[in-house]
Amino acid sequence: MTNPKDDKERLIEEFDLLLSGGTLSIPEDIATWLGRAMLLYGVPFNYLVPDETMLPIESIRFFSLDPGWLKCLLEGACSVGRQGTLDEVLDEHLRNNFLDLAGTRATEVRAGQKGRLNWPLTGFLLRSSIVEGWQGLEMKAAGIDANGTLVDPLEPLRLDRLGPDVMLCIFNGKVTEIEIKQPPEGLHFGASWAPGENKYQKISLRRLHPAERAGDEIPEVPAADVPMREGVARVIVIHELANQMKDALNGVAAIDGTPNGRFTSAEFGVQMVESPGKAVFKSKL
């Protein structure tokens, strides 16, 4: 009778020879699937966020991927369909290589180019109305690679909407800062939110005439409250807003250099245009 230990070692040696000689290879579909699994594709959302209070409305949560957890995920998935001793032996031999096999494909899922993973892989979950309201949100991350070198921008491995107002992002390295921007084509008429009775203000009114210095100081243009129609949500009383902006600008001679500058529809349009918004978050991972 042969020794089971010898049979196991022989199977492993034969398997290694097949792999090294190119006779045996991991099927493309399986290799791609492993790479996607590394980036949490197909993982139920309640495995990522077990309780809703961990990701409340209008919040962002940073995370790092645990290689041990990912290894168990891949082992469990690859154990499905095991039928005999040979399958079990080969699975055991491959167990310590799952992360390497999946990692070679994880960088191809989004960029389509082979590369190496820079552990720790980190990212964030964002739950906000802006995810639903702005389909073309842009994400940019700065961080540190495996060598401790500052990388800006950090390579994104996955950027996906998991639901109407939830976005998942995973980056190739340790995230230190995230910049979220509205689509660049999103020029619009708008105002800034402000606390208090008047919920909105035009804070950054633009000077239409060069400022006259008072000593070393340039007079600031004060903010103008945005008056809302009574009893109707989010409807602006335009003529009152125009008058408030005119008074604020003329108060510092910012229309034509005099305190009585004309404020027409042209000046109103210039003041109302807002560029796409941007928010920056610092990670404490």
Q: Which range has the worst mean pLDDT, 37-41, 62-66, 104-108, 183-187?
A: 183-187
Question: Residue 49 in contact with residue 125, Cβ under 8 Å?
Answer: yes
Q: Which range has the worst mean pLDDT, 150-159, 188-197, 244-253?
A: 188-197
Interval 207-232 mean pLDDT: 78
pLDDT of 173: 92
pLDDT of 87: 67
Q: How far apart are CA 264 and CA 283, in angstroms?
A: 45
Q: How far apart are CA 138 and CA 188, in angstroms?
A: 17
Give me the helix-helix angle, 28-38 and 98-106, nearest 10°: 90
Q: How far apart are CA 87 and CA 83, in angstroms?
A: 6
pLDDT digits (tens, 9 = 90+) for 228-274: 888 877 789 999 999 999 999 999 889 998 999 999 999 999 999 98
Across the strands, what pairs with 204? none
- Burial class of residue 15 in the structure, from the number of CB atoms within 10 Å of its CB (0-12 exposed, 13-18 middle, 19+ buried): middle
What SS3 state is found at 67? helix
Cα–Cα nearest to 249, from 206, 201, 189, 188: 206
pLDDT digits (tens, 9 = 90+) for 67-104: 889 988 888 887 776 666 666 666 666 666 667 778 88
Question: Residue 127 in contact with residue 59, Cβ under 8 Å?
Answer: yes
In this structure, the number of other CB atoms found within 10 A of the CB of residue 232 comes to 9
Work out whether the CA dihedral 60, 65, 66, 70 comes out positive or negative: positive
Q: How far apart are CA 105 and CA 271, in angstroms?
A: 49
- The pTM for the full model equals 0.68
Question: Residue 235 in contact with residue 191, Cβ under 8 Å?
Answer: no
